Structure 1
Amino acid sequence: MEIKSNGTRIHVTQRGSGELALVFLHYYGGSSRTWDGVASELSDRYRTVATDHRGWGDSEAPADGYGIADLAADAEGVIEALGLQRYVLVGHSMGGKVAQLIASRRPSGLEGLVLVSPSPPSPMLLSDEQRATLAGAYQSRESVEFVIDHVLTARSLDAARREQVIEDSLRGAPQAKAAWPNVAMREDITAAMASIDAPTMVISGELDQVDPVATLQAQLLPRIPHAAMHVLPGTGHLSPLEAPAEVAQLIARFVAAIEGESVVLALQDMTP
C-alpha cells in the first residue's frame, strides 16, 4: 500500500494482525523486502509494518530531504496514518539511526526499540576516498556483489536473497544513494539519546564490518544505559537476511517480555 507521509509517497508492506505492531525500518541499500524473512516468522502473532525509505524500493524519490530527521518524519507519518496505538520500532543500520531519533522523542504508543546492527548516533567519520567508495558501492551489479561478499555478509545468502539485495541496491535513487554517506551518516544525534526511555534491545552480528560490536559498545550502549545487547555468532551486517529466524526469535522474546511487563503493570494499577 502507499501512504502519503511528510509530503512523500511511502510504500508500506503489512502482514498479520494484532493490537501490537512491529514497525520495520531498513538499511542503506535495502527495502521493506529486507524484512520478509523476519516478518514471516512473526506475523502469526503480531501486525508487521515495513516501509521503504524515500528513494528506495517503491517509495517516491524527492529531489532532497534525506537527512535522519526527514526519514524519521516519514516513518512517524506512516505510524500516524495507520493509527498504531501500540508498537515496537525495529531499525536496521541506517534505519536503526532513524529509529533512535524517533524513540528519543518518546512518541505515544512506542513500547519498545530493537536496533539491528544500528548505525551509531555519533557521526561516522570517513575519509573523502572512503565516502566516495561507499557512495559508489551500489552503482553496478559487480560493485554490489563485491560489497555483499566482502563487506556486508559473513554468512552466504541463498540465490533469491542475494538477487534481492542486488536489485534493491541498484534500484535506489541517485540522491538517496548519495545522501547517506554525504549527509545522514555524518549527522550527530547523540544529544537526543538520553531521552530514550523505551525498553531497548541491540542485535549485532559478531562479524559485522560496517557497525562492529566494538563500535556499538563504545558509541551506542553508553548512551542507552538500559539497552541489552545480543551478538549473533558468525553473522555479518545483514542479519535480517543472513539469520532471519534468529533475529525473529530475539524480537519475539523481547516483545514477550515487554507484554509480560505490561500485564504486571496493569495488575499493579488495579491493586487497591
Structure 2
Amino acid sequence: MLPHSQQGHGPITFVLMHFLGGSHRTWGPTIPFLDREHTCIALNTPGFGDAHAIGGYSVEEMADQVDASIRQLGLERCILVGHSMTGKVAVVLASRRPDYLHGLVLVAPSPPGPQPMSDEDRAQQRAYTASREEAEAFVDDSSHHRLPEPLREVAIADAQAVNLDAWRAWVDHGSREDWQPRIGSLPYPALLVCGADDAQVPGAQEQQRTTLSHFPDSTLLTLPGAGHLMPLQTPLALAKPMLEFAHRIAARTPEGDR
C-alpha cells in the first residue's frame, strides 16, 4: 500500500495525488477546506515523499499501485484528484472503470498524450540533481507567484527528497507515453482546473481539446492569479469548486448505488 495521510469523514472520499516532486504534503493547505464534509486520502506516489523507496514509475505501474491502495483501504464512492503528473495517472486509472470511482478532479493535469515540452526544457529537467538551489528554482518556476515562506519550504523539502530514478522515469518515459487511443469516452463527471498563470502544462483551450475530449460530462475552470501549484498557492479557491463538484456527485450517487 502506498504511504498516505487520512483526514475527515463524509459521503465522498477525495483520493488526492500530487505533482512531480510533491508528496501528500502538497495537499496540506487544501485539505482543511475539504475534510469537514468529506474524507481525504492524500497519497505518496512511487518515488516521492514517504514512498521514496517504492518502485514502479511508469504510468501503468503508478495506476496499479493507486488502485491497489484504494482497494486495500476499502474505499467506496471516490473522486480521484490528479495534480499535474498524476492527472495522467488518474485518467488512465479511470479508463479501467473501477467500481469505486464516481468522478475526477484534474488540477493542471499532464495530458493523456505526450506532454508538450521542448528538447531543451526536457534536458534541463532531466539534469535535476535535487540540490537546494535547483529545488528552489523548480518550486518558484512552478508556482509563478512566490509561495508563502512556510509552504515554500515544504515544497522545497519535497523536491529535494525525490527519488531521482522516479523523477527521470517521468521525464524520459511517463510524460512521453501516449494513452489517448486506449482511453476512449469515459462515463465519469470531470472537473478540470487550470491556473491562469501556469506555464508548466497545456492551457485551458488545449486541455479542452485533449484531456476533456474523453469526458462528455466535464467542467473547465481557470483560477485567476494561480500558477501550477494550486493546492499550495490557492487552496481555498481550489477547494470551493471541488466541494461543489463533490456535492453534485453525492447527490447523484446515493450510497450503494452507481
Q: TM-score, normalised by structure 1?
A: 0.88
Structure 2: distance between partners of 1:141 and 1:213 = 32
**8 Å contact kept, 1:100–1:121:** yes
SS of 1:58 mapped into structure 2: helix
Matched, 1:243 2:240: no
Q: 1:18 to 1:42 in 2, by over 3 A?
A: same
Amino acid at match of 2:94: A
Query: Which residue does 2:101 correspond to in 1?
Result: 110
**8 Å contact kept, 1:25–1:90:** yes
Rg: which structure is higher?
1
Q: 1:218 to 1:19 in 2, by over 3 A?
A: closer
Report the CA distance between 1:221 and its aligned residue.
2.4
1:204 to 182, 194, 199: 194
1:130 to 121, 128, 131: 121
- 1:98-150 per-position Cα deviation (integer Å, ceiling 9, x unaligned): 0001111111021111000000011124344322211234521112222233x
Structure 2: distance between partners of 1:228 and 1:156 = 28
Structure 1: distance between partners of 2:209 and 2:228 = 17
Structure 2: distance between partners of 1:22 and 1:123 = 26
Query: Which residue does 2:51 correspond to in 1?
Result: 59
Give RMSD over aligned pairs.
2.0
- 1:176-216 per-position Cα deviation (integer Å, ceiling 9, x unaligned): 11111101000011123324211110011011101122331
Identical-pair percentage: 36
Higher mean C-alpha displacement, 207-216 vs 122-131 = 122-131
Structure 2: distance between partners of 1:213 and 1:147 = 22
Unaligned runs of 5+ in 2: none
Amino acid at match of 1:35: W
Amino acid at match of 2:98: P
1:189-268 matches, within 5 Å, as 189-211=179-201, 212-262=203-253
Query: Which residue does 2:146 correspond to in 1?
Result: 156
SS of 2:199 mapped into structure 1: coil
Amino acid at match of 2:78: Y
Higher mean C-alpha displacement, 92-101 vs 213-222 = 213-222
Structure 2: distance between partners of 1:98 and 1:57 = 17
Q: TM-score, normalised by structure 2?
A: 0.93
SS of 1:143 mapped into structure 2: helix
**8 Å contact kept, 2:130–2:162:** no
Count of residues in Structure 1 that have an aligned counterpart in Structure 2: 257
Amino acid at match of 1:165: A
Q: 1:40 to 1:183 in 2, by over 3 A?
A: same
Q: 1:75 to 1:125 in 2, by over 3 A?
A: same
Unaligned runs of 5+ in 1: 4-9
Structure 2: distance between partners of 1:235 and 1:166 = 18
Higher mean C-alpha displacement, 213-222 vs 98-107 = 213-222
**8 Å contact kept, 1:19–1:46:** yes
Structure 1: distance between partners of 2:129 and 2:33 = 29
1:34-53 matches, within 5 Å, as 34-53=26-45
- 1:158-186 per-position Cα deviation (integer Å, ceiling 9, x unaligned): 11110011110110011011111101000
Structure 1: distance between partners of 2:210 and 2:219 = 14
1:141 to 121, 132, 137: 132
Q: 1:255 to 1:161 in 2, by over 3 A?
A: same
Amino acid at match of 1:84: L
Report the CA distance between 1:24 and its aligned residue.
0.4
- 1:213-249 per-position Cα deviation (integer Å, ceiling 9, x unaligned): 2331332223323211010011111111110111111
Report the CA distance between 1:257 and its aligned residue.
1.2
Structure 2: distance between partners of 1:26 and 1:107 = 20
Higher mean C-alpha displacement, 212-221 vs 33-42 = 212-221
